[in-house]
Chain A
């Protein structure tokens, strides 16, 4: 059996699932509406690509994890869970995980990338004179920087998608999967920053290592990389984060999460952890119901 047999078919099924799910299309339209509202209020679109990226950065820190969790939390649950049948075909666990992940990542790139490309196109028409040229030197606004911003945003989504999928395989019921997905959302959106803030106020983290510590939090790493490699390039205002720590942090979350999915897809490893998480998320879901 080829190690990657079935990968393409599984990935293509995921892409088609995303395309055929109307709520994902609505999500993309909703993102465009939020972007339009944010840019109208912030006025960044008239300033060019960099001001636009700055205006969208904060909303994206919340919206990208939201989209990633929406795509990932039931990747292996409910009607999407045909693992026992799929594994009776010559499909390895690695191919199955890679296929589902890549297929949903393509969907995520479309849902987030589509509205961002529309924003980029709007900037090229509405933005200042500088926004209509491809800058070849630092200190100038450029669509290249906006493409870099878009790529970093999709990378951030890719990491959170892997985390949501890991949560999806650790629980069994749809209700528990939703609670686990929400837990991922809270951890990604607020957890890292909160821990860093608490560490800073308790003097457990010195200011000299703050940039490195922030790299361990997915959304801090994303924010730092955007400020460093998009905004900082044009404004010379970088230095918010240790770039290598941020890249290592995002890569670490991605590898660990996908590793957890590959091991967890077997259903039996993590049985104890899964029971504990199932009970915990069940209680959270119960509390949410009340």
Chain B
């Protein structure tokens, strides 16, 4: 991990009509690390992720990429990745690879454990396999920052662990991984830094040990409970329209 940030988030706010989903979010993402964004449902995780990758424009504030100059600075796995029916897993990755000077699909599929399904059409893949295909897609072109929105969604525990291990390996080889997740145990094992979102703002951030110490908590789950308070209800920010 290096102190130099790969991404800087400065006072980012986002409103959808009268609903303010994010409010004054600032953070810097250190390069070569795994950064996890956690928070209850409706806390603004996906909105923040979509702003970071340029899929949404912030209402206020800026996001600046400060990593190395490259063809594809940020790789992205959306929360619900979509793939074109009628194309195999290998053809799908070959298409995305053709947009950059990317690798052949085989090593990418091998990396996420999908080599045996290379010739299977994407509509015939299970939800978990589609998620893995999405992760392989996010790493095409070796982007310095890979953003994964709920990468373990729909995966069994072993697969989830595999995804987080892959993220840790990528960080070990210099890639920065920013992921959002509800799997706090895996986040605790893998992440170097955690951003805790609550009601559209960063309620706490820092290294996991530091957060545990700050909130006198035994686990990341306890940290989240301390930060969020009542976790039995979905946070509804901005009221209703």
Binding site for B on A (CB under 8 A): 1, 5-6, 9, 13, 16-17, 20-21, 78-91, 267-268
Q: Is the CB of A90 within 8 A of B71?
A: yes
Contact A89 B82 (CB under 8 A): no
B99 contacts A84, C-beta separation under 8 Å: no
* Chain A hits for B99, CB < 8 A: 5-6, 9, 86, 89-91
Residues of B that sit less than 8 Å from A by CB: 50, 53-57, 71-72, 74-76, 78, 81-87, 95-96, 98-100, 137, 140-141, 143
- Determine the distance from Cα of A85 to Cα of B72 in the docked complex, in whole angstroms: 11
Extra contacts besides A84-B55, A85-B96 (11): CB < 8 Å: A1-B71, A78-B82, A79-B83, A79-B85, A84-B78, A85-B137, A86-B99, A87-B55, A90-B71, A90-B100, A268-B56
- A13 and B86 contact, Cβ closer than 8 Å, known pairs A88-B72, A89-B99: no
Of A17, A89, A267, which is in contact with the most chain B CB atoms at under 10 Å from its CB?
A89
CB–CB B85/A84 < 8 A: no
Nearest B residue to A79 by beta-carbon distance?
Answer: B82
Q: Is the CB of B53 within 8 A of A88?
A: yes
Q: How far is the CA of A91 from the CA of B95 in the complex (A)?
A: 13
Instruction: Show 30 A/B contacts (Cβ-Cβ < 8 Å), sorted by A.
Output: A1-B71, A5-B99, A9-B98, A13-B84, A13-B87, A16-B87, A17-B84, A17-B86, A20-B86, A21-B86, A78-B82, A79-B83, A79-B84, A79-B85, A80-B82, A82-B81, A82-B82, A82-B84, A84-B50, A84-B55, A84-B78, A85-B76, A85-B81, A85-B137, A88-B54, A88-B72, A88-B74, A89-B72, A89-B141, A267-B56
Distance between B143 CB and nearest chain A CB, rounded to angstroms: 8
Task: Name the prevailing secondary structure of the B interface residues.
Answer: loop
For A88, the chain B residues whose CB sits under 8 A away are 53-54, 72, 74-76, 143
Given the complex of chains A and B, what is the CA–CA distance between A26 and B39 in angstroms? 49
User: What is the CA–CA distance of A29 and B85 in the complex, to the nearest angstrom?
Assistant: 22
In the complex, A21→B83 CA distance in Å?
Answer: 15
Q: Are B83 and A82 in contact (CB under 8 A)?
A: yes
In chain B, what residue has the closest Cβ to A13? B95
Expressed in whole angstroms, the Cα–Cα distance for A81 and B78 within the complex equals 12
Give every chain A residue within 8 A of B82 (Cβ-Cβ): 78-82
Contact across chains for A89 and B96 when beta carbons are under 8 A apart:
yes
Please, how many angstroms separate the alpha-carbon atoms of A89 and B99 in the complex? 7
Residues on B with beta carbons closer than 8 Å to the beta carbon of A13: 84, 87, 95
A81 to B80, CA, bound (A): 11
Distance in Å: Cβ of B150 to nearest Cβ of chain A: 14
Query: CB-CB < 8 A to B57: which residues of A?
Result: 268
Q: How far is the CA of A17 from the CA of B81 in the complex (A)?
A: 18
CA distance A82 to B75 in the complex (A): 13
Task: For the complex, give the distance between the alpha carbons of A174 and B86 in Å.
Answer: 19
Determine the chain A residues whose CB is within 8 A of the CB of B71 once the complex forms: 1, 90
- CB of B109, distance to nearest CB on chain A (Å): 17
Chain B residue nearest to A19 (CB atoms) is B86
- Given A79-B83, A89-B72, A84 and B141 contact (CB-CB distance below 8 Å): no
A9 to B101, CA, bound (A): 13
CA distance A84 to B137 in the complex (A): 12
Given the complex, which residues of B lie within 8 Å of A86, measured CB to CB? 99
Bound CA span A86–B84, Å: 12
A252 to B57, CA, bound (A): 30
In the complex with contacts A79-B83, A79-B85, A90-B72, A85-B100 CB distance below 8 A: no
Whole-angstrom CA separation of A17 from B82 in the bound complex: 14
Residue of A nearest to B86 (CB): A20
A90, B74: Cα distance in complex, Å:
10
B181 to chain A, nearest CB (A): 19
Q: How far is the CB of A203 from chain B (nearest CB, A)?
A: 45
Tell me, in angstroms, the Cα distance from A130 to B141 when the chains sit together.
60
Contact A85 B84 (CB under 8 A): no
Cα A86 to Cα B100 with chains together (Å): 11
